[in-house]
Amino acid sequence: MGAEKRIEEWIRSLIAEKRPVELVSFYEELPVRAKVKPLSLEDKFIQWESHPKLKLAVENFGRVYTYFNDPVYNQKRILTSDVTYYSDSLIETTMFKPFEEPRFSREFPRVTVSSKLPVKVAVIDGAEKQEYQVRDVSENGVGFLAPKGTFSPGDKLKLEVFLPYGSFSSEAEVRSIEPVEDKEKVGVRFVDLQQRFRDLLHKYVMTRQREILNTIKMLAD
């Protein structure tokens, strides 16, 4: 029996037993978890109970994940599906499929930046300095938007990072490139970052986490 059929049978058993399962989505890069019951499975689309926090997250992220104990491999696997509809009463997704999601294996929490807590980054090349819009931040790196084709994985960069609590310079390496509309999000990891600068990043992430969690509470309650 193939993986797709095993997953389908699992979903059908959840429906028959009226058993909830944890779905995970992301809001501003923070995971949002809720236990909900699948209501139906028709034409490869699954309808689920809705949940205020989950609804808020899927509106922001557009995708959900769950964990599946695969009997063939005897291990827990991450599954993902796209959200096709959401409301106060139900959430509809495509059929789940196995997926390797790096968000679940991050060493440090990552948060998006906000206008209230802005972050700037500049790439220094000799005497030239080019600023880019920062999308997200963690203790060991940042993600910023750049025109397509500007950077490639493995590129070594010198960055100047401006946080609300101070600024610092660091060597960095491009670790990932992700398409975002007409641009690319460039994920970089700092190289040999001094602890005092890591503390600045940690303070930013913790403050921004509180801001995001307050927003989720305000909008979802």
pLDDT in tens, 202-221: 999 999 999 999 999 888 77
- Compute CA distances 29 → 199, 213, 218, whole Å: 20, 11, 18
CA separation for the pair 159, 157 (Å, rounded): 6
Strand partners, 146: 184
Q: Residue 74 is which amino acid?
A: N
CA separation for the pair 117, 80 (Å, rounded): 31
Q: Long-range CB contacts (< 8 A, 24+ apart) of 163-167?
A: 163/119, 163/200, 163/201, 163/204, 164/117, 164/118, 164/119, 164/204, 165/200, 165/203, 165/204, 166/200
Sketch the domain layout of the chain as residue ranges: 3-105, 110-220
Rg of the chain over all Cα atoms, to the nearest angstrom = 20
pLDDT in tens, 111-138: 999 988 999 999 999 889 999 999 999 9
Which DSSP state fits 91? E
Quote the mean pLDDT of the chain.
93
Which DSSP state fits 155? -
Closest CA to 31 of 69, 75, 63: 63
User: Which three-class secondary structure state does DSSP give residue 180?
Assistant: strand
Q: Is 110-220 CATH 2.40.10.220? A: yes
Q: Which residue has the tokens 């940690």?
A: 202
For helices 52-61 and 195-220, what crossing angle results, to 10°? 120
* pLDDT of res. 148: 95
Structure tokens at 86: 């959401």
Which CATH architecture fits 3-105? Answer: Roll (2.30)
* pLDDT of res. 63: 95
pTM given for the model: 0.83
Asked if pLDDT for residue 1 goes beyond 70, the answer is: no
Closest CA to 111 of 53, 60, 40, 159: 60
